[in-house]
Structure 1
Amino acid sequence: MEEQRIAKTHKLVVNNRKTAAVTGVLDVLSFDLNEILLETEQGMLMVRGTDLHVNRLSVEKGEVDLSGSIDSIAYSNISQSGGKTTKTTEGFLSKLFK
């Protein structure tokens, strides 16, 4: 049987730039102490800061809880799960994985 993908809602809640709760997460692509890259229902989500940690991850529910000192949050419409790869996509991804 082919698995049907039901669109989930995406929500991002940041508390005092110290914790964040994210829903609608499809995948955690990478994370370290300074950067976390998530694929969400609304595109790629990059969280940058210092001493970042993924405290809770539920892939089944599409939920992630983060903590640390959050400096910036940025979205991109680039999707890892399909779509055309363009020069813009390659440039963005090459910058992310430096």
Structure 2
Amino acid sequence: MEEINNNPIRFETNPYHNIVLKDRKILEITGVKQIDSFDSNEFLMETAQGWLVVEGKELTLGKLDTERGDVSIRGLVENMSYISNKKSGARESVFSKLFK
């Protein structure tokens, strides 16, 4: 059964935002302000540089450091994109999935 989390996880963060992707299997992100929602196919989080959507397969939360704003995601990363408005971006994501 797929886990869905709809309660945002907020934490303090540093003002710097970096992304390191290792072999498309481990994604390390700094400067995360909150994780809004996640499941095995998509993570939606607010970073110091805007809202970030990570899409893939079998995604899991590997590491979470709420004091520093560091997040590690494991699984097959297929897409990462920044959205200007999380509500419209999430809506576009749902529609784009339906019409693929």
Alpha-carbon displacement from aligned partner over 1:2-27 (angstroms, at most 9, x marks no partner):
xxx88610000000100010000000
Query: What's the counterpart of residue 3 of structure 2?
Result: none
The alignment-based identity, stated in percent, is 32
Please, what TM-score do these two structures have when normalized by structure 2? 0.73
CA distance in 2, matches of 1:17, 1:95: 24
CA distance in 2, matches of 1:90, 1:76: 9
Selected match of 1:49 from 40, 56, 77: 56
Number of aligned positions between the proteins: 84
Alpha-carbon displacement from aligned partner over 1:9-53 (angstroms, at most 9, x marks no partner):
000000010001000000000110000111000001110000000
The 4+ residue runs of structure 1 with deviation greater than 3 A are 95-98
Higher Cα radius of gyration: 1
CA distance in 2, matches of 1:14, 1:77: 22
Please, what TM-score do these two structures have when normalized by structure 1? 0.75
CA distance in 2, matches of 1:93, 1:70: 18
Q: Secondary structure at the match of 2:60?
A: strand
Selected match of 2:16 from 6, 9, 16: 9
CA distance in 2, matches of 1:66, 1:60: 17
Q: Secondary structure at the match of 1:8?
A: coil
CA-based RMSD of the aligned residues comes to 2.2
- Unaligned 5+ segments in structure 2 are 1-11, 96-100
The answer to whether the 8 Å contact 1:42/1:77 transfers is no
- 1:92 and 2:89 matched: yes
CA distance in 2, matches of 1:23, 1:49: 19
- Unaligned 5+ segments in structure 1 are 79-88
- 1:59 and 2:66 matched: yes
CA distance in 2, matches of 1:24, 1:9: 5
